[in-house]
Chain A
Amino acid sequence: AQSVTQPDIHITVSEGASLELRCNYSYGATPYLFWYVQSPGQGLQLLLKYFSGDTLVQGIKGFEAEFKRSQSSFNLRKPSVHWSDAAEYFCAVGAGAGSYQLTFGKGTKLSVIP
């Protein structure tokens, strides 16, 4: 069974600073990996996804993530954080190409200091 670990429950950064959110996964085959963001009272919005190919993936809102198979990691990065990035971020691994389910990490809450 697949699993996802997000080691950081809460991160606080200053506006304009760089950001890295950590994600480690466990999955027997080639993983499908995702980062979603959730603002308070909202559903989940996809930031980026990795299925195969280039291990550096670009997403929306200036985010990127790098897949490192040797470290079973898929860390999310942003060079300069904006106050509007304050939200909760979820890493997820997707199982299978047919029957489809996402297994999520517990999330990392990001606070941004103006």
Chain B
Amino acid sequence: KAGVTQTPRYLIKTRGQQVTLSCSPISGHRSVSWYQQTPGQGLQFLFEYFSETQRNKGNFPGRFSGRQFSNSRSEMNVSTLELGDSALYLCASRGEGYQETQYFGPGTRLLVL
């Protein structure tokens, strides 16, 4: 089975712009979660989608949004970028069942100038 894939891998934007990141989960996985990783704050949960519905959301401003498509692929969008949004954004997918493991993609590294 192919793993979780994320595109693009690297991205450079300027303040005020918006950005869309994409995640393709492992085949058959309907749960997709997003995490932000920064040196200062570490790994923080952004949100989780399951069957096209946002099921859980972390403590991030409304500039961070996401969606999930019928094929379980997910996108996250950050509007009005700030310097502090520079981070590694990780996507993870998970099968159903409470003992299922969350598998992570390689991440998208976003640099905001």
Tell me if A106 and B42 are in contact (CB < 8 A): yes
Determine if B22 is an interface residue (Cβ-Cβ < 8 Å). no
| Interface residue stretch chosen among A20-28, A43-51, A63-71, A73-81 | A43-51
Given contacts A43-B107, A90-B43, contact A99 B101 (CB under 8 A): no
Residues in A whose Cβ lies below 8 Å from that of B92: 44
User: Which A residue sits closest to B40, measured CB to CB?
Assistant: A106
Q: How far is the CA of A44 from the CA of B88 in the complex (A)?
A: 12
User: Which A residue sits closest to B54, measured CB to CB?
Assistant: A99
Interface SS, B side: strand
Tell me if A102 and B99 are in contact (CB < 8 A): no
Q: From residue A78, how far is it (CB to closest CB) to chain B in Å?
A: 20
Determine if A18 is an interface residue (Cβ-Cβ < 8 Å). no
Residues in B whose Cβ lies below 8 Å from that of A100: 31, 33, 48, 55-56, 94, 102
Chain A 84-114, CB-CB to B under 8 Å as 1, else 0, gives 0000001010100111111111110000000
Tell me if B105 and A43 are in contact (CB < 8 A): yes
Tell me if A42 and B33 are in contact (CB < 8 A): no
Tell me if B42 and A97 are in contact (CB < 8 A): no
User: Which A residue sits closest to B105, measured CB to CB?
Assistant: A43
A interface list, Cβ under 8 A from B: 32, 36, 41-46, 49, 51, 90, 92, 94, 97-107
